[in-house]
Structure 1
Amino acid sequence: MSTAHFTYEEVGATREQGHCPPGFHPLRVRTRIGEGREVFRRASEAVMTWEMHRALGVGIEASADRAAPGTDVTVTLAGVVRAPCRVVWTAEEPRLAGWAYGTLPGHPECGEEAFLVDRTGDGTVWLTVTAFSRAAKWYTRAAGPFTRAFQHTYAHRCGTTLRRLCADIPQP
């Protein structure tokens, strides 16, 4: 684990669904993945082990094979943009699994993003991506609304990719 400090004060705030600290842009994208215990198990494992992100075509360098608080993660986009982060919290419960990471110095954004798989009472499995962020580099400030549009597209692609990874599991 690096000794770098987070680039924002509200570390862990994505645990509170719907909370967005002042001065940040909120994001919430929820995607239906499928139904049943096996879909939940498969989706949870894909999220917790970085498989979903790698299947998206995103470069992931992580200090552990599985998400855990304190794990350093560097996300690489298009082989050019490097975004250092650290996992701030995880959840592994019978109907909820996922994690959030926060930005470290050098990340083009400042804030936090969470990836949560949940299985509702009717057995439906969902991926919810929540985040709060603001520009941290000149090029993300210059891109303005295009940066936020990219974040929404990325969150939707996470759901589409996870649904594809779980497509071979029989539905109840």
Structure 2
Amino acid sequence: MADEPDTPPFTYPETGATDREFPAGYHHFRLRRQIGTGRALFESAAQEVLTYRMQRGVGIFGSASTPSAAHGTALTVRLGIGPLAITAPCRVVYVLDEPNRRGFAYGTLPGHPEIGEELFAVEYDPADDSVHGLIAAFSRPGTWYTRLGGPVTRLLQSYIAGKYIDAIRPA
């Protein structure tokens, strides 16, 4: 999935790899949790994922060039607290629109403190009517301060992934 003309390049060459085998040389992360049951929940959660509810629910959503995730959508997330926060640019690499799996993945652009890709999705299992939130990513540090963060950065990634899934869980 090549960059479009007049857009900043992705900071990594393996675009789209969150939907296949993750590439070597990155930290791999995957979290899948049940959020409830029923096709109606799947449909509503899918809509929430595609309209950035996971990022909004965690409080890191900055902006997006489209109201719903679409291939090529430019978006920003705000990482950190107060004056220490940074705006991290990303772009949607692909959108999942399968009968039992929906979501999108974005990849990092220049200026993002990490290098890699993250998938935000919801899955429906017709065998038992269960609905799961899914976060999957491959990444590596892109700045000195994310390299310095090391294991703490990974713990934070795991914590935030759980919060992403909680953001689409029914009340």
What residue identity is the alignment partner of 1:66? S
Once the two structures are TM-superposed, the CA of residue 34 in structure 1 deviates from its matched residue by 0.5
How many equivalent residue pairs? 163
Identity %: 47
Once the two structures are TM-superposed, the CA of residue 94 in structure 1 deviates from its matched residue by 2.2
**TM-score, structure 2 length as denominator?**
0.91
**TM-score, structure 1 length as denominator?**
0.90
- Alignment partner of 1:134: what SS? strand
2:8 matched to 1:4? yes
RMSD, aligned α-carbons: 1.3
* Structure 1: 4+ residue segments shifted above 2 A: none
2:157 matched to 1:155? no
Of 88, 91, 98, which residue of structure 2 is paired with 1:83?
Answer: 88
Gaps of 5+ in 1: 168-172
| Inter-partner Cα distance in structure 1 for 2:156 and 2:166 | 15
The C-alpha deviation readout for 1:90-120, integer Å capped at 9, x for no partner, is 0122211100000000000000000110100
**Match of residue 70 from structure 1:** 72
Once the two structures are TM-superposed, the CA of residue 59 in structure 1 deviates from its matched residue by 2.5
Gaps of 5+ in 2: none
What residue identity is the alignment partner of 1:109? E
The C-alpha deviation readout for 1:18-66, integer Å capped at 9, x for no partner, is x221110000001111000111011101100012211221133000000
For structure 1, which segment, 72-81 or 118-127, has the greater mean C-alpha deviation from structure 2 after superposition?
A: 72-81
Contact 1:75 1:82 in 2 (8 A): yes
**Match of residue 24 from structure 1:** 26
What residue identity is the alignment partner of 1:132? F
| Inter-partner Cα distance in structure 2 for 1:50 and 1:35 | 21
2:46 matched to 1:55? no
